[in-house]
């Protein structure tokens, strides 16, 4: 089970590196979510903004659980 824990840690680290690589997009997507109702945009663009925000939330949740279970299995 320790091996599985280290694999989970490895995947978590890879995902964190991917967030660091796309940090500019991450910050701009967060800012766009707060401006979603004040901008003059189409429904398609609103859907893309909401979809990208949901992607970032799910990615952070997955990273959290990878580290949580990685920590659990390495003990």
pTM for the whole thing? 0.86
Q: Yes or no: say if 71 and 13 are a contact pair by the CB < 8 Å rule.
A: no
Dist CA 70 CA 75 (whole Å): 9
Backbone angles phi, psi at 57, to 5 degrees: -65, -45
Q: Where are the domains of the chain?
A: 2-74
pLDDT band at 75 (very low <50, low <70, confident <90, very high): confident
Sign of CA dihedral 12, 18, 21, 23: negative
pLDDT computed for residue 40 by the predictor: 85
pLDDT computed for residue 48 by the predictor: 93
Taking only the tens place, the pLDDT of each residue in 27-65 is 999 899 888 888 788 889 999 999 999 999 999 999 999
Dist CA 24 CA 4 (whole Å): 32
């Amino acid at each position: 089970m320790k091996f599985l824990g280290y694999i989970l840690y490895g995947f978590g680290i890879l995902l964190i590196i991917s967030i660091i690589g796309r940090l500019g997009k991450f910050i701009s997507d967060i800012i766009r979510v707060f401006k979603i109702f004040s901008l003059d945009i189409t429904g398609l663009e609103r859907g893309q903004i909401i979809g990208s925000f949901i992607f970032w939330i799910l990615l952070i949740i997955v990273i959290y659980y990878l580290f949580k279970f990685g920590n659990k299995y390495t003990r």
